Amino acid sequence: MANIVLRDIWKRYGDVQALQGVSFECRDGEFFCLLGPSGAGKTTTIKIIAGIEAPDKGDVLIEDKSISGSPPWDRDVAVAFESYALYPQRTVFENMAFPLKAPIRASRYPKDELEKRVKEIANLLGIGDLLDRYPRELSGGQRQRVALGRALVRKPKAYLLDEPIAHLDAKLRHHMRGELKKIQTELGITTIYATPDQLEALSMADTIAVINNGRIEQIGTPDEIYNRPVNVFVARFVGDPPMNVLDSILEAEALVVHSNGSFFRIPIPPMDWPLLTERVEGGELKVGIRAKDIQLVPESAEIVHAKGRVKDVETLGQTTVVIVMVGSVEVKVKIPTAQAPDRDSRVGLVLDSSKLHYFDVKTDYRIK
């Protein structure tokens, strides 16, 4: 086990600045998620830690020792990428056993111990009956589990997992999230897990680093990332559906959202008023509210903050996302499916003002 520290890592590929001053610490035994969209810099970060790529600037430390000049085989980290990279001429068993047969490790894994370890991990991944097959005889999801097993079969200082379950179907991906977290917790091995899936990050991580365009936007616990997003990007990227972020004007202890000639008012909690009057310049700001913190009510209800037309209804099993057009502003509401209205019907909205998030209109950063 080991802690991993990145200090001001920069990396350029031609005209593309892939990483811009990336810094974070993954503590000993921690499950650390790198969360961000495609092209954000997740894979480049993993490759630099593994020694596959060298940074243009900055330092990587494992166990408080710089490893920036060390070759990959001296770093004692196990890596699994989204691409399978299996040996086509070897069976599943041979692919998974290959890391244990390396000269640096062979003495620690006699034949009986090697077979036991491979079968143990294969059974955890649901591929215990595929050990005699070759990669060409497997589905894409099965190949990905073999590639993941090849990393997990080792007991290194750290696991570096880059979208290791991306090609699995939804049911198996849900199962594998639980199994991966269980394996990591039982072994206590430091893990850096890169994913574009915010549900994976929120459900598995001890700490999340949100990365975008090669920069770290925010580092925190899943609760901090979800409930106190540092800026509009994090607010919209983390959460399903994305947070509603509305342009508004501070006016008479309320926020006024203008919409195509009409407007609606959102009351501000008294405790927030001094903060906003002190920090908001020119009266303009962005207000965020999650879909689950908005109620649908009849237009004629006694308390209604906004009125609009139902544009679309997206049923997700027990819950439904209702898209309401208030003038030209689109507002998403998440409610129980049994309460879902019909398309094109008229509804009222009531926003929970205690769950509002405030962002600076110029910088997009949270007003604290």
Tens of pLDDT, residue by residue over 121-149, are 999 888 999 999 999 999 888 888 898 89
Number of domains in the chain: 2
Mean pLDDT, the chain, integer: 92
Same domain as 209, residue 101: yes
Residue pLDDT, tens place only, 108-118: 888 898 999 99
Same domain as 257, residue 187: no
> What is the spatial distance between Cα 211 and Cα 33, in angstroms, rounded to a whole number?
10
* pLDDT value, residue 155: 84
The confidence band for 27, taking pLDDT boundaries of 50, 70 and 90, is very high
Asked if pLDDT for residue 182 goes beyond 90, the answer is no
Asked if pLDDT for residue 1 goes beyond 70, the answer is no
Q: What one-character DSSP code corresponds to residue 217?
A: E
Could you tell me if 157 and 2 are in contact, meaning their C-beta atoms sit under 8 angstroms apart?
yes
Owning domain of residue 341: 244-360
* pLDDT value, residue 169: 84
Residue pLDDT, tens place only, 209-266: 999 999 999 999 999 999 999 999 999 999 999 999 999 999 888 899 976 666 788 9
* pLDDT value, residue 253: 82
Does 29 reside within a domain? yes
Task: Give the list of residues 6+ apart from residue 293 with CB closer than 8 angstroms, or none.
Answer: 351, 352, 355
Last residue of a domain, one of 218, 237, 256: 237
Does 161 reside within a domain? yes
Q: What one-character DSSP code corresponds to residue 178?
A: H
- What average pLDDT does range 36-57 have in this prediction? 96
Q: What sign does the dihedral 174-180-182-185 (CA atoms) show?
A: negative
Does 342 reside within a domain? yes
- Residue 310's CATH number: 2.40.50.140
Same domain as 273, residue 226: no
Asked if pLDDT for residue 291 goes beyond 90, the answer is yes
The confidence band for 191, taking pLDDT boundaries of 50, 70 and 90, is very high
Same domain as 125, residue 59: yes
* pLDDT value, residue 24: 98
Same domain as 249, residue 226: no
User: Going edge to edge, which strands form the sheet with 158-162?
Assistant: 77-80, 158-162, 190-195, 31-35, 207-212, 215-220
- Residue 26's CATH number: 3.40.50.300
Residue pLDDT, tens place only, 73-102: 889 999 988 877 899 999 999 999 998 888
Last residue of a domain, one of 237, 256, 282: 237
Asked whether the whole model's pTM tops 0.85, one would answer: yes
Asked if pLDDT for residue 306 goes beyond 90, the answer is yes
* pLDDT value, residue 109: 84
> What are the Cα distances from residue 144, in Å, to 140, 150, 269?
6, 10, 50
Last residue of a domain, one of 237, 268, 302: 237
